[in-house]
Structure 1
Amino acid sequence: MQFQPTRVAAAVAVVMALSTGQAAAQSPAPSDNATINLIRLLVQQGVIKQDQADALLKQAEADAVRARSSAAPAAAAGGAGAAIAQPGDVRVPYIPETVRAEIRDEVKNDVMAQAKAENWAQPNTFPDWVSRITIEGDVRVRNESRFFDDNNVPGALNFNRWNDNGPMLIVAGNQNYFEDRRFTNTREDRRNLWRIRARLGVKAQLSDAWTAGVRLATGSDDNPVSTSDTLGNSMGKKNLWLDQAYLTYRATDWMTATAGRAGNPFASTDLLYSGDLNFDGISAAFKKPLSGRPVTLFGTIGAFVLDYGNNASSAWSYEGKSENKWLLGAQVGADWKINSDNSLRGSLAYYQFENISGKRSSQCSVLSSADVCDTDWSRPSFMQKGNTLFLLRDIVYTSANPDDWNQWQYVGLASRFNLLDVNMRWDTRVFDGMGLRLAGNYVRNLAYKDSKIIRRAGGANNLATNQEFASDDSAIGVKSGPNAWMLQATLGNGFGLQSKGDWMAFVGYKYIQPDAMPDAYNDSTFHLGGTNAQGYYVGAGYAVDKNVFAQLRWTSSKEIYGAPLAIDILQLELNARF
């Protein structure tokens, strides 16, 4: 930077010449000379450097000496009434304060104009748009081992893969047959799976009211409940997905509306919704403290699209009406700050899943896997496991010869889902200020009825899972239930594990009946996702540095109804966030 003192120094000199005061400009003590104080202030604020200030003062003092010299003859000719001049005295005409202030302001403005032009008045500053952009993300490296009991049922069907890969041939030539052997692992342990998760988000504050956000994330596929990817694959590159894209409008200080694909807007646990689950649609949330009371009310309403149902075209079958699938949700709750050591939070939510249950087709003839029936659209686009399923197609055979019978089938959800969700959480202090959190979650499917499940399936014989059998092995009903609950206790000095040395430990228990909720959206670790599971989990975490923490978790679960399926999972992970 080149600082040019000529014009500024001249102005300073004029002011010093017109000001009362002498050698005080050299003193480090506060000066009566406003110009000297101004230069010192500019040095203190970092606007100019000390050597530049010294140069200004030196040149200004020289100009002042010349001014005093030129004033001396005029003083000598002042007449008999003039006072006798003493050595060092300076006599100048009176200058009004307004003029002196104008000169000071001009000097200051000149200095600041040059500073801004050369960009040294405001160091380390950036364009306005930079200050409105926030970048955030996290990285996780996990070692995971999955242990399956030797007594588990062999050959459990993977119904999600069944639906994904087109209709499955289950009857061929009057024989039960499962094409492509679409089964899931139930007995072979999978040890030391190295898995990663990476998420990178950008948030832009467009104005005081509007915010836009975009986030990318890893993931082995496009399933909604996990962004983890398994390492290996001959060192092959990993997938990257659009995880979030949304706009948020802040209508008031206590209400916002969000549209697009965004994080879970509801207060919930992973009993119902996975922590990686995002919601596609529109929501509005409010949070309002009660005046004069230690209570804050909150709530959310939203409508989210799950799937746009459609049937593939077919020259052989009637293509029936299809319907869109939705999740409609509403929640109210309150945070109560009881005192400095205790707080209580509770919420009540209702979730209505529209058109996600399967619909039994009208009678249709299927000659190959390319044919369609009129309710194929009602099959779920994603499942984990646990829900009661039934065969969607009511297939009629065109031949009287059983050897010619083929049955290409899809499966659909047998129950409807209208959920009541109750959450409670109590935070308190124990053991010299250590935090203790007790949390509970209860979910009930209000739409569950055994009789309606049997009627929707077209009879118990058409159920594909959760069948109840008589002593002669004939299907007589459904073995399921509508309830789920979870309890968890957490102890530690920093539940968020944000600062170095923070730690926490937790233990919990889950119980999820088969049709308490759709099995597609909850935690993918416990029982490897889904419903019809019960068991415990325990773990601990420690912050090894700021925003870097390690966590260990063990889960042990088994089935509630049906064939044996016990799964234990051990996870050791290192997390970093920014």
Structure 2
Amino acid sequence: MKIKAKNWMIPWLVAGLFSTQAQGVIAGERESLEEVRATTMNLIELLVQEGVLSKEKADALLKQAQAAKQKAQEEAASVAESAAPDAPAAATQSKAIRVQYVPEHVKNEMRAEIEQEVMKKLNYKAGERLGIPEWIDRVEWTGALRLRYQEDMFSDNNVTPADLASNNRQYMQVNNTSEDRQRQRIRALFGANLHINDWLNGGIRFTTGMLQTPVTPNQTEGFSQGKFIFGLDRAFLEAKPYDWLTLTGGRFANPFFTGNQTFNTDLLWDPDLAFDGLVARVNPKLNQHWQLFSTAGAFPIEEIESSDTNKARDKWLYAAQGGIEWTSDNNSKVKLGVAYYDFKNVEGKPREFVGDTRYDATVPLWRQKGNSTFKMNPFGNNCGSQNNPSLCGLASQFQLINFTGEVDLAVFDPVHVILHGAYVKNIGFDQEEILRRTNTLYDEQDEGYEFALMVGHPMIKKLHDWQVFGGYRRLEADAMLDGFTDSNFRLGGTDAKGFYLGAQYGLGKNAWLSSRYVSADEISGLPFSVDTFFLDFNGRF
């Protein structure tokens, strides 16, 4: 047994406490020593159970304590007999108390030292015996599983995929526009929140999903496909030098205020989209009711190796948001924010002569559908095809002004009523500039808005928690980059309008059922309408 210099404490305590009992103590001191005795005996038993102290050694300690107790009793009896002739003295001595005084702070220190050494030995937090390192205490494991049934229902009036692919003004690569589709899908998330020190935290997370899409982590089930893909979705460090300042770098969740994520009221961004780059958040609290918030960051979208033969430039997003939040005495809240998103070098540039490839890399690496497009090769027939979309560029620049507001009424807490609204305008859309660059005149389709209502529990955490919600969304063709929008609304992209209805219900702690129905149509492009029904069984830890 390696309890360092404190090895002597256990036998000393056991023997000393038994002998002290035999000599007699006052009620308060006796009670205190009885507590120490009970603690010591429990520790000995725990040491035996954990294998730190053998059964033989424990028995020897107990025998030693018993012998000390018996010896003390015999000495006490001998003293009493020798003092018998002198009655007054005997009476006085019978009332006398012989206690070796142990100050309270010494006993507390002894308890703490013994407990500390034993807990280290038992590896309660980070000991030697089981070999678990100290940092394990600073890691919080997180995860979630979602089983989904999804049904996509297409309108009879939809055009064919070939029609969408041959449309230079709004090129779309879609495989199906007419046959209803049913899928069983799965999403798995697993990660860890890391507490590095008092001011620095971090996190990593892995998720399912196709590697070529930044938006959806859903994986369609079918065991003939082989193994599901599991990729790194979060990897970041987060410094908090002050209570009001947070600095984050790496790959992390959307840092901007966009609405309530429990029923997905995000007009611009897919809820599963990860942001790369650096971001700073300043959230000073003015008083118990008012708090300011601001966020600013730089986010790389696509790195391009520019050269003499490649004149395209790196694609970036520079963004800032500011706002204010008010909280009432009953925990009702009003939150308002305004954001500016500036996407750099995302618009396409046409070829100037036959064989010119200098600006081909201005084509976006990832798209869904909806944005206005043009054929970058003016000497070809179409800007792309289903098999070769590489010469289809975005017509507009994207500089967005976005307003978001939310009212959370907690008058009937725990049931809340949440009202949400958002508006966006792409002030980078310029008809004349687009006409000069693409030789094509486009209609202004550069605005979007959404409003929604939720009644119920703000988050589904336990059995019988519930919420119902509904909303309407309209996002015009060039109001936002179509590659990063909600992948469930008209199956992703812009140029979409429609409504959604849904409900969620708690089946137990951290387990719930949710359903959502989305009906979305085109705004200005060729006919392409989709109604989608989702039924999800969720679990998290």
Post-superposition offset of 1:67: 2.5
Q: Whole-Å Cα distance in 2 between the matches of residues 445 and 66 of structure 1? A: 97
* 2:490 aligned partner: 527
1:289 maps to which residue?
Answer: 285
Q: Which residue of 2 aligns with 1:35?
A: 33
Unaligned runs of 5+ in 1: 163-167, 171-177, 367-371, 398-406, 461-476
Give secondary structure in 2 for the equivalent of 1:85. helix
**Alpha-carbon distance between aligned partners in 2 of 1:110 and 1:516, rounded to the nearest angstrom:** 66
Q: Aligned equivalents of 1:564 and 1:117: distance in 2?
A: 69
- The answer on whether the counterparts of 2:466 and 2:504 sit within 8 Å (CA) in structure 1 is yes
CA shift for structure 1 position 101: 7.5
Q: Does structure 1 conserve the Cα–Cα contact (< 8 Å) formed by 2:14 and 2:40? A: no
> Quick one: distance in 1 between partners of 2:14 and 2:146?
60
Per the alignment, residue 390 of structure 1 pairs with: 374
Q: 2:15–2:66: 8 Å Cα contact kept in structure 1?
A: no
Counterpart for residue 391 of structure 2: 410
Letter in 2 for 1:199: L
181-190 or 562-571: bigger deviation? 181-190
Higher strand share: 1
Distance 1:116 1:223, change over 3 A: closer
CA apart distance, 1:330:
0.6
Aligned mates of 1:502, 1:518 — CA distance in 2: 36
Deviations 1:280-299 (A, max 9, x none): 111111222113x4011111
More divergent stretch after superposition (385-394 vs 563-572) = 385-394
Q: 1:203 to 1:452 in 2, by over 3 A?
A: same
Larger Rg: 1
In structure 1, C-alpha distance between the alignment counterparts of 2:464 and 2:470, rounded to whole Å: 20
The whole-number CA distance in structure 2 between the counterparts of 1:480 and 1:122 is: 62
CA distance in 1, matches of 2:173, 2:105: 88
Q: Deviations over 1:412-470 (max 9, x none)?
A: 1110111111100011146686311110010111111222222121x12xxxxxxxxxx
Query: Deviations along 1:63-91, whole A, 9 cap, x unmatched?
Result: 222322554687699xx9x9653698497
1:55: Cα distance to partner? 7.3
* 1:303 aligned to which of 281, 298, 302: 298
Note the C-alpha offset of 1:193: 0.6
1:536 Cα offset (Å): 0.6
Q: Percent identical across equivalent pairs?
A: 31
Partners of 2:150 and 2:328 lie apart in 1 by 41
Where do 1:472-483 residues align within 5 Å?
Answer: 477-483=441-447
Q: Is the 8 A contact 2:13 2:37 kept in 1?
A: no
Distance 1:128 1:432, change over 3 A: closer
Q: Does 1:377 align with 2:385?
A: no
- Kindly tell me: are residues 360 and 213 of structure 1, through their superposed partners in 2, closer, same or farther at Cα, counting changes over 3 Å? same
CA apart distance, 1:184: 2.9
Whether 2:122 is the aligned partner of 1:119: answer yes
Residue 422 of structure 2 aligns with an amino acid whose one-letter code is N
Distance 1:55 1:557 in 2: 83
Q: Per-residue deviation at 1:511?
A: 0.7
For 1:12, the aligned partner's letter is L
Q: Secondary structure at the match of 2:435?
A: helix
Q: Please name the residue that 1:85 is paired with.
A: 90
Deviation at 1:479, TM superposition (A): 2.8
Instruction: Tell me if structure 2 keeps the 8 A contact 1:157–1:182.
Output: no
- In structure 2, what is the Cα distance between the partners aligned to 1:408 and 1:343? 47
Q: 1:193 aligns with which of 178, 183, 189?
A: 183
Deviation, structure 1 residue 127: 4.9
Give the TM-score of the pair, scaled to structure 2.
Answer: 0.82
Counterpart of 2:278, as a letter, is: I
What is the CA-CA distance between 1:122 and the residue it aligns to?
8.6
In 1: Cα distance, 2:301 partner to 2:113 partner: 63
CA distance in 2, matches of 1:409, 1:239: 26
The answer as to whether partners of 1:391 and 1:409 remain within 8 angstroms in 2 is no
Aligned residues: 507
Residue matched to 1:11: 16
Question: CA distance change for structure 1 residues 547 and 322 in 2, over 3 Å: closer, same or farther?
Answer: same
Is 1:559–1:566's contact at 8 Å kept on the other side of the alignment? yes
Give the 3-state SS of the residue equivalent to 1:68 in structure 2: helix
Provide the rounded CA distance (Å) in 1 between the counterparts of 2:29 and 2:114: 20
Counterpart contact for 2:240–2:247, Cα < 8 Å: yes
Give the unaligned 5+ runs of structure 2. 47-57, 259-264, 382-387
Deviations 1:182-211 (A, max 9, x none): 653212211x21111111011211111111
RMSD: 3.9
CA contact (8 A) 1:386 1:519 kept: yes
**2:126–2:134 Cα contact (<8 Å) kept:** no
2:216 — aligned with what? Answer: 226
Q: Deviations over 1:459-488 (max 9, x none)?
A: 12xxxxxxxxxxxxxxxx313411000000
How do 1:40-439 and structure 2 match up within 5 A? 40=38, 42=40, 46-47=42-43, 59-69=67-77, 71=79, 84-85=89-90, 89=94, 97=101, 115-116=118-119, 119=122, 127-156=133-162, 184-190=175-181, 192-232=182-222, 234=224, 236-268=226-258, 269-291=265-287, 293-310=288-305, 319-340=309-330, 342-363=332-353, 365-366=354-355, 373-395=357-379, 410-429=391-410, 434-439=415-420
TM-score of the aligned structures, taking structure 1 as reference length: 0.77
Partners of 1:12 and 1:60 within 8 A in 2: no
CA distance in structure 2 between the aligned counterparts of 1:110 and 1:486, rounded to whole angstroms: 62
Alpha carbons 1:373, 1:393 under 8 Å: kept:
no
